Amino acid sequence: MYFILSKVLFFILVPLNWVFVLFIIAIIKRRKPVGRRFAFAGVIVLYVFTIPLFFKGFARLWDVDSATSKNNNKKYSCVIVLGGFAGSDADGNGRFTWAADRFITGMQQVKTGKAAHILISGGNGSLIPGKFREARWAKQQLMQLGLADSLILAEERSRNTLENAEFSKIVLDSNQLKPPYLLATSAFHMRRAKMIFNKKGMDVVPISCSYLIGNDSFHLTDLLPQADVIGHWDFYTKEVVGYLVNYFG
């Protein structure tokens, strides 16, 4: 039920779907005045969701920044790195994706002594999963980069953030690693991830990465449409839907 509800709400709220529906209605009603209104509405929605101005504003409100700077000297038993930073190619071989900063951020915490261990949480979230398991592959990469096997934990059963929290807790408890833990994931995903981990009784400290926006000030170009902006809205739409479903679920 949770999975189906999330997918339905996500489909309804995706901005590009709004634009598509408005233009379809405009075409159907093109011989009537109402058709022009729908076409105009479609243009407005398309403009709003393709300019950086509104996207940056929402992202800055939603993103969760790292909290570790408040206590730079504190050490943690483990950093939990959420999957989504790697996948498999056509031959089933692993490769990093655009979210590889999660992997890098997690490794940095161990290399710099901020965390004693690293837990990679992620299996295969595909509807038809193959043999590839993200955590298993990521562990191999960490060992190739010089991290000792004894410092690496791999949880390869989870398919989503809810299962990340459930299975990570089992692994951490079985290894007697005490909270609080560092939680490494993308800034846009951190709000939902932290809430889910907290609901599962886990004390986590956010360490955000993979930001989709910078800290630059307003530019006139922020009022000009950019093709990638409407695609970035999909990340936040998914997060808002997931947050609400998990919050009230």
Domain ranges of the chain: 2-63+220-248, 68-209
146 — phi, psi (to 5°)? 100, 5
Q: How far is CA 230 from the centre of its chain?
A: 16
Q: How confident is the model over 222-235, as pLDDT tens digits?
A: 999 999 999 999 99
Which has more pLDDT, 177 or 8? 177
Computed over every residue of the chain, the mean pLDDT equals 92
- Order of strands, edge to edge, in the sheet holding 76-82? 152-155, 115-121, 76-82, 181-186, 204-209
CATH code matching the domain that covers 68-209, chosen among 3.30.70.580, 3.40.50.920, 3.40.470.10, 3.40.50.620 = 3.40.50.620
Q: How confident is the model over 43-84, as pLDDT tens digits?
A: 999 999 999 999 999 999 999 999 865 567 899 999 999 999
Q: What angle do CA 27, 31, 35 make, to 5 degrees?
A: 50
Q: Global pTM?
A: 0.90
pLDDT computed for residue 1 by the predictor: 62
Cα gap 13→15, rounded to integer Å? 6
Placement of tokens 């043999």 in the chain: 131
